[in-house]
A = this chain, B = another copy of it.
Amino acid sequence: MVSTLTIQGACRAGKRLSDAVYETMLDGIISGKLKPGTIVSEVAIARQLQVSRTPVHDALRQLAKDGLVRQRANHRAVIAEFTAADIHDLYQMRKLLEGEAARLAAKGMDRATLAHLRETADMLAQNRDRADWTELWADFDEEFHNAIAKASGSPRLWQDIARYHLLHRGFNKLGTTPEGLEHALEEHVRILDALEKRDAKEAQRAMVDHLQEWQAYFVNRFPKKPGN
């Protein structure tokens, strides 16, 4: 049995239960409680969350559209597995989208956000031995890429980047090492330097280089074939 899921946000007024289920399962996938390849049944999830099958069914269709689960009619859903080719393609897209976002953000990002990111990066650099460093890093990574995407000034670019970052978070807990994360932090700092200098070209280059490294790092860690 999969480790327990519980509905996170209290279902406040004007919010759908199916959205709460969606976010709960999303969190389950990102946090690693629901591992790739896991077969999930609507009834099981419904029992676990103490809701009916209807909102679970809805949530699964949304997750399928995000590419986080795979669904066939009349079959149970499975948490998405990634092949090396998938990961390669995913990072090709991230390089394109986030490179563009970094370029635009060099002009558009306001000083307050810039200062806040710098502050957090410094904090992380100075606390490398903390036990929860990996979690802190994950939060910072999320915030960093999101802030750049938002500062691009393009809502659609922001949205698409968020979508791909979601996929990234869906598997990146599987194979990361502390050294890899520390190196990634240095790359973030390089991007931050460029943003502060308002150097669009360099910001784009730094972002693409950063993602290029992760791409190379990850691609080898995934199977060539879809099965297991």
Contact = CB atoms under 8 A, between A and B. Distances in A.
Interface of A: 14-16, 58, 61-62, 65, 72-74, 89-90, 92-93, 96-97, 100, 154-157, 160
Contacts of A14: 72-74
Copies of this chain per assembly: 2
Nearest to A164: B156
B157 A160 contact: no
B58 A93 contact: no
A156 B97 CA distance: 12
B61 A92 contact: no
Contact of A89 (B62, B73, B100, B156): B156
12 contacts: A15-B73, A58-B58, A58-B61, A65-B65, A89-B156, A92-B154, A92-B157, A93-B156, A93-B157, A96-B96, A96-B97, A96-B157
A62 B157 CA distance: 20
A89 B154 contact: yes
A57 B157 CA distance: 28
A91 B96 CA distance: 16
A26 B30 CA distance: 31
A73 B156 CA distance: 22
A74 B100 CA distance: 38
Nearest to A13: B73
